[in-house]
Amino acid sequence: MQKYILVLPAKLKKHLVGLFIVLTSLVNTAANAAVSPIPLLVEQCLRFDFPTLAIDPSLDSKTNAITLERQLIGFFNINDRIKYYRHFPLSYADRELLLQCQLYLADELALYLDSVPFQSLQFSLAKNQQPQMSALLTRINHLSKSSMSPKLKAQLHTAQAAFKQEISTQALSLNIADSSCQISELGTVSISRDFNGTLASYLIKQDNEQCRKRVWQAYQSRASGKNKLALTTIKQLRQQQAIEAGFASYSKYRLQRQMLHSPELVEQFLLTQTDNIAIAPWNIGSELANAPSTKVSKINSTQWLVLVEKELLAFEVRFDWIDNKIIRVWHRNRLLGDIYLSESNKVAVKPIRQPVVGQQFGQIELSFPTELAKYQQQKQAIKAISTAITKLAKGQQFYLLNTISETDDSSNLDALWLENWLADRMLPQVKDGSREAVLQLYSEQLNVFRAKIAVNLYRAHQQKNSFVPHQQFYLSFGKYWDKTEDAPYTFSAIVYQGPLYYQKLWQQKVAEYIYQSTKNCQDQAAVFDMLVVNEASNSIETVLKMLLGSPVTVDSLIKRIQHAFDAQNKHPSSCTFLRQ
């Protein structure tokens, strides 16, 4: 039986989407509609029109790029605002409105990327050898090449959602048949305050390691059966995407524009970071429970931000407190934007609007508890303020240069560097054997093992023979997992990040190396300018060359990171930054 696909003209499609959204919005009550900003945002979404005129060939490419930037800034802002509102608990109707608007913008963008005006700009930028224009062309090419056909995208998103749903909703029922593995009082499962019936509580309270291992392994297998079809579908779609782009595997395709630009380089890095910590995942709960925690002084979050401001003056970054809820951020004489403060039980950072030099200032919301009483709270607060400051301080006049990094695995280096910088000044040093030190060691090795699983999963079949998962598990944890074939079904990032799962650990190590190599330089503001602001649009290779004092290949950087913090060289004392 033949199937037919109805292709609608763009204008008709837009009107139909608008009609759907209007009908959906009718389910809102009058009271809800009066207070919800969503309907107005959706109306702006539907009214946005992408440019239809080709660029002016009589003008230079930079002028045309600036003109295009001004035409598209509305699209970027609407898209960012949608992402911001999706952080909040919304009614079903509002969620549907935002989803339909997001899908509509994505489809319209895909059409625009294939249009004559956009392709004309690409050809024009290719002739311009200025660093900023070359960097912009790189982002534009990445944006256009990352688009997928609607059918392929729908299949992929459906499979990813199904995979994530099974992992997040499947709960292990602690119906333990073996009486020797029950946490019991007089032969029955305890319901005392010490045991709450959860997996985490069981792993902490159970003294028998074999029982802990059996229960942990059963939990890891909870979604493997139901998710096999979803993962197989995702692998097939990703492999099809890679082959159509001319690559033998999705791992090679996904890594080709990264700093670690091949599966072999990723494996080389992960091998240097593999360390047998002799703590199996089923034992980490009891290890943490028995380890002493690192103490910090309690502090009000507003007072803490005042201390942060004093440290940031080293980079010539200052705060203007409009009131106790709004901070206006400046770098020298440049207004970066506003940080809106809100109270929450958890630390969170929510970008609202991206700053673009010459176009608009930035807006970011930071949520803090009233009091930062624990080490982890203050560490998360440092992470949040570092993210906020680095997002606001980017010094480009093009949105894409401020939001899309040259490579995915260098996108967060500036924030992680600042995080290291602030933590060294505002947090106590964690001691070996402390809860925080044990957790860091375990988290790193879990990331190493999962990254190995992810990059291998998306390799061509003939390249997988040398990879033995249970041996790699032993190298990190000193114990064997009986069914490591369940490993790909234990974390949802494997279907979203895929081969790029390594990037978090990689960027943490590179940022730490940059910090240790430059922390004794007198001119810290120059380090901030080079790594965070980067007004000259320097490539990551140029930035590393300037910061580390000599040209750096990826292979040599892996080796530098491996050996830089050995016991005899844990804290380099010399400044390698050329502009001291």
Cα separation, 567 vs 121, whole angstroms: 53
Q: What is the mean pLDDT of residues 257-274?
A: 96
pLDDT tens digits for range 467-509:
899 999 999 999 999 999 999 999 999 999 999 999 999 999 9
Q: What is the mean pLDDT of residues 442-461?
A: 95
Chain CA centroid to CA 5, Å:
36
What is the model's pLDDT at position 141? 85
Candidate from 3-12, 305-314, 541-550 with smallest mean pLDDT: 3-12
pLDDT tens digits for range 201-243:
889 888 999 999 998 998 898 889 899 999 999 999 999 999 9
278's enclosing H/E stretch is none
Q: What is the mean pLDDT of residues 518-534?
A: 95
Cα separation, 438 vs 436, whole angstroms: 6
Confidence bin at 186 (pLDDT 50/70/90): very low
SS3 344: coil
What is the model's pLDDT at position 97? 92
Q: State the average pLDDT for the chain.
A: 87
Q: Is the pLDDT of residue 288 over 80?
A: yes
pLDDT tens digits for range 403-412:
999 999 999 9
Higher pLDDT, 67 or 501: 501
pLDDT tens digits for range 290-348:
999 999 999 999 999 999 999 999 999 999 999 999 999 999 999 999 999 999 999 99
β-pair type (362-368, 334-343): parallel
pLDDT tens digits for range 367-421:
999 999 999 999 999 999 999 999 999 999 999 999 999 999 999 999 999 999 9
Cα separation, 45 vs 97, whole angstroms: 10
Q: What is the mean pLDDT of residues 27-50?
A: 72
Confidence bin at 26 (pLDDT 50/70/90): very low
Helices (H), 130-283: 131-145, 150-169, 199-205, 209-220, 224-244, 250-255, 263-272
334 phi/psi in degrees, rounded to 5: -100, 125
List the one residue out of 114, 100, 110 whose CA is nearest residue 151. Answer: 110
What is the sign of the dihedral through the CA atoms of 343, 344, 347 and 353? negative
Confidence bin at 263 (pLDDT 50/70/90): very high
Q: What is the mean pLDDT of residues 146-165?
A: 86
What is the model's pLDDT at position 321? 96
Residue 498's alpha-carbon distances to 239, 495, 520, in angstroms, are: 12, 5, 37
Cα separation, 491 vs 497, whole angstroms: 11
Q: Is the pLDDT of residue 127 over 90?
A: no
Q: Is the CB of residue 523 less than 8 Å from the CB of residue 315?
A: no
Amino acid letter for position 488: P
Q: Is the pLDDT of residue 83 over 60?
A: yes
- Rounded to 10 deg, the angle between the 435-457 and 503-518 helix axes is 130
Amino acid letter for position 199: L
SS3 362: strand
Q: Which two tokens stand for residue 86?
A: 């999706």
Confidence bin at 570 (pLDDT 50/70/90): low
List the one residue out of 482, 455, 457, 511 whose CA is nearest residue 263. Answer: 455
